[in-house]
Amino acid sequence: MTHTEPLTARAALPADLDEAAHRCLVAGFDGTTAVPDDLKRLIDRGLGGVILFTRNIRDADQVRGLTDSLRALRADLLVAIDNEGGGIGHLVTAGAPEVPGNYALGVVDDPALTARCADALAGHLASLGITVSYAPVADLQVQADNPIVRTRAFGGEAGVVSRHLRAWIEATEARGVASCAKHFPGHGGTLTDSHHELAVDPRPYERLDLEPFRAAIAAGVPMMMSAHVVFPALDENRPATLSRRILRDLLRLELGFDGVLVSDALEMKAIADRYGEAAGARIALAAGADQVIVAVADLGVTLECRDAVLGALRSGTLAEERVREASERVRGLAERYAEPSVAVRAWDPGVGLEAARRAVDGQAARGGARGAHVVDLFPAPHPALNWGGEDLLTEMRALDPTATGTAVSGEPEDAEGLAGAILRRAGRAPLIVATSDSGLYPWQGRVAEALMARRPDGVRVATGLPEGGALCSYGRGKANLRAVAEVLVGAR
């Protein structure tokens, strides 16, 4: 669908202010080669950036062609993507390096190794013409039932997370790629996924997880991303993304961050359901954000957000000096990062598996499971994070073609009945039972218990956070699963 831009939008504001307002937007879009007409018009008006998703990715040559086409329209356009590693990313079909998630890196606790993993990811981005990475995660995993941070965090201890943030940020910067610490001032203390509803962190100020963000600032991180989380100790009325007390008073004035502050995606239900994307864009910029992300492919939503910002400027409810300040920060970022590297030096393609192996190696060896029947229990992939659904059986069979198995990615109607059917298929083969954060998904625990009750010789594996002594991969990225499969079959 093509949206007609109101003629009054350009006429009502000075051209430079109109451009400044557009520079404060980051847009998602659909397509892998052709640039949509609405997006071309936004870029012509000064759009600050675009964000790519799996829907925009086919292969490496196609991505580089797409980013070249975008910059041919505007040389200082920032091209961004979520690229955390550990299976959380959108570039699998474009040859993304396989690195374990942050939690595994924190378990190894070798910042030099973390830097090598970050270098591989950033080098790959630079080769594709992508120069903004919305990573690393600076949150702490401090709430056992947190549904969204978990193995995306480097850990639950501020010192560990801080030193790995520094390593990641410095390695990414060395590649000429902008990193972005997220989600300020921390998403790890919540019990809610802000993709689905508004999250609240009820802790007092002195217990909030600010130390990693201080470390990121000290490391020179050029961008931060806000959290759609309410912190009553800071502002009882608004989530951080929309709070002047948090974005200006805390982040700018108290912590001294002078880089670009970008919102998390406005279509997330924590903002969209309560405020609406358009109002969210206007309020976030007024509160102190420099850019707002509208990640949905429907550019009509981006245009609605843009029109809300322009309307607020015309009415005076959004101060002109606030938008010009934000625009200048984005302009400065673009001067540093918008132009991708022409020649990209090679990165280490094996560093991710090395890191994943080191995370697993500190545990007891469980070799001898050749010919096993693997039961892999895991939740459906999170659509926003785009974990690709990698499974343990695939990695086991790559090492041992005689392995068989069952993958279950959703709650069964009858856990006992499923367990019985699995055991009949397994016969006398060694049994491996893997769960992924079964505390959050009790159906996994019910199936696992039913299996282990009848086969106490079975080997338990955890592919999320650690679970009661089970052999743990610390994540479901391909490298994580390959490393734990090697231990199970005795391949190393």
User: pLDDT of 271-306, one tens digit each?
Assistant: 999 999 999 999 999 999 999 999 999 999 999 999
Write out pLDDT tens, residues 219-237: 999 999 999 999 999 999 9
Please report which residue ranges of 338-477 form alpha helices under DSSP H: 351-361, 392-399, 415-426, 442-454
Catalytic residues: 195, 264
Average pLDDT along the chain: 94
CB within 8 A of 353, min separation 6: which ones? 98, 479, 482, 483
Q: What is the pLDDT of residues 45-104, one digit of tens each?
A: 999 999 999 999 999 999 999 999 999 999 999 999 999 999 888 999 999 999 999 999
Residue 313 in tokens = 């400027």
The HSE-up count of residue 46 (CA atoms within 13 Å, CB side) is: 18
Separation CA 294–CA 421 (nearest Å)? 46
- Assigned architecture for domain 7-337: Alpha-Beta Barrel (3.20)
Domain(s) of CATH 3.20.20.300: residues in the chain: 7-337
Q: What is the pTM of this model?
A: 0.95
Q: What is the CATH number of domain 363-489?
A: 3.40.50
Cα distance between residue 315 and residue 311, in whole Å: 6
Beta bridge partners of 85: 88
CA count, 13 A, side-chain hemisphere, 458: 26
Q: pLDDT at position 388, please?
A: 65
Q: Residues 289, 261: contact at Cβ < 8 Å? A: yes
- DSSP H or E segment with residue 26: strand 25-27
Confidence of residue 370 (pLDDT cuts 50, 70, 90): confident
CATH 3.40.50-classified regions of the chain: 363-489
Q: How far is CA 115 from the centre of its chain?
A: 18
Beta bridge partners of 178: 132
Tell me what pLDDT residue 10 has: 44
Answer for the pair 129, 177: CB distance below 8 angstroms, yes or no.
no
Tokens of 286: 């007024």
**Confidence band of 8 (pLDDT split at 50, 70, 90):** very low
Contact 132, 74 (CB under 8 A): no
Instruction: Give CA–CA dist 141/328, Å, rounded.
Output: 34
Average pLDDT score over residue span 6-32? 85
Give the pLDDT score at 181: 98
